[in-house]
Amino acid sequence: MSADDPSTRAELLLLSPSFLVPCLTHDGISVWDTLAIAEYLHEIRPEAGLLPADRSARAHCRAISGEMHSGFSNLRSALPMNLKAHYPRFKVWAGAQADIDRITAVWRECLAKYKGPWLFGSPTMADAMYAPVCTRFRTYDVKLDPACAAYCEHILGMPILREWITAARAEPDEIEELDVEL
C-alpha cells in the first residue's frame, strides 16, 4: 500500500479528510481535529460537562486544551506515544524537560485552583487532552511531584482509559493494511 497510490489516498481521505486522527463521524458530519471534536461534543451534549459552567473556568479550560493541542512539540518528539513499552530511567533531554515543566505547572495550578481530582474539579476536555501525556509519563518513567503523580494515576485509573490501553496493547505490532511501501 503506497500513500502515493490514488486508490489508497482516496480510501484514507474517506476515513479522515485531513489524513489526521482522530476523526469523529456523527450524523453525517466528519470532525477530525481534537479541539473541534471536543467543541462539537460540547455542543451536542452540553450536559456532559466537557467545558466548565463558569465562564472564567471555561476560558481557562479552552486555553490549556489549546496549549496541549498545538504545543509541546519537544515532548511529542522525545517521548513518542507507545502504550506497549516502558523505559525505566529514561533520560529526558532539556527541550522535552521544559515541556514537562510547563505541563506540570499547568496541572498544579488547575488542581490547586479547582480542587481536583480533575483539572477543573470534574472531568472536562482538558483531562481528555492531557490523558495521552499521562501515558507518556508512565512509558518514559517521568518523575513527578506528588500532586501531578496523583493526577496521572487518577487519569490512568479511569475505566475507559484502561480499556483503551488494554486494546492498544493487544493490537499487532504491524498492521498489514497500514504498511506503506516507500
pLDDT tens-place string over residues 108-164? 999 999 999 999 999 999 999 999 999 999 999 999 999 999 999 999 999 999 999
Q: Across residues 48-57, what is the average pLDDT?
A: 95
CB 103 within 8 A of CB 121: no
Mean pLDDT of the chain: 88
Give pLDDT, residue 6.
62
pTM: 0.82
On the question of a cis peptide bond just before residue 6, with omega within 30 degrees of 0, the verdict is no
| pLDDT tens for each residue of 2-19 | 445 566 556 555 554 555
Cβ neighbours around 52 below 10 Å, total:
21
Give pLDDT, residue 173.
78
Domains of the chain plus CATH, in order, are 54-167 (1.20.1050.10)
On the question of a cis peptide bond just before residue 117, with omega within 30 degrees of 0, the verdict is yes
* Residue 93 CB-density burial (10 A; 0-12 exposed, 13-18 middle, 19+ buried): exposed
Q: What SS3 class is residue 35? A: helix
pLDDT band at 96 (very low <50, low <70, confident <90, very high): very high
CB 64 within 8 A of CB 106: yes
- The Cα angle at residue 125 between residues 132 and 79, in degrees rounded to 5: 15
